[in-house]
Amino acid sequence: MPASLTHFATRPARRPLISTAVGPAEPELLFFEGDGRTPNSCFPVLLYRGVLWREADRAAAFERRFAAHRWAPLWRAGVFDYHHYHASAHEALGVASGHARLMLGGEAGREIHVRAGDALVLPAGTGHCCLEASEDFLVVGAYPRGQEDYDIQRAGSDRYLASVRRIAQVPTPVADPLTGRDGVLTQAWRVA
């Protein structure tokens, strides 16, 4: 997936060395509603900060972690620089290097900044787009087992209702891609 290669005006501050925890901290839960162009989801996006910031080869470390929890790592690249979502699969993104400014939730969503070691878990339908990235921005993309044949949908009203119907059929993953079967995802994405 191509990445936007524009630079940030300033270098991001280094993450302070205050934690020696092995596992990831609790993720931020971000909620986005459908807007008639991007379906989004009733499930929250999970935004993990600094989960793999000590590893020398973060891409390989994310791939191992995702695979251990039944999420198939399928690619290493950037994030598309246009608003899109996946109607047939949930997606995990592990930031292996660099930093970026992303828009989540569609054109009127929320900007977030991510850097090496961060990870996102996007429920099917969640809009995402790269607004700006460092030249070394690299992401590992992974999908729950059985959802490897994911689609790419551009935001738009012409396919919105069909996408909403398809998203409703996507099975909930059996495990959080970072923390496993007892992870945050299995609680936060519990079907009521």
Q: In the predicted model, is pLDDT for residue 81 greater than 70? A: yes
Instruction: Tell me the pTM.
Output: 0.86
65 neighbors 117 (Cβ within 8 angstroms) = no
Whole domain around residue 182: which residue ranges? 28-188
Query: Residue 13 domain-assigned?
Result: no
Domain count across the chain: 1
Q: In the predicted model, is pLDDT for residue 21 greater than 50? A: no
pLDDT given for residue 185 in this prediction: 95
In degrees and rounded to multiples of 5, residue 13 shows phi and psi of -65, 145
Q: In what order do the strands lie in the sheet with 91-97?
A: 28-32, 41-48, 119-122, 91-97, 138-144, 71-77
Query: Residue 178 domain-assigned?
Result: yes
Query: Residue 179 domain-assigned?
Result: yes
| CATH code for the domain of 155 | 2.60.120.10
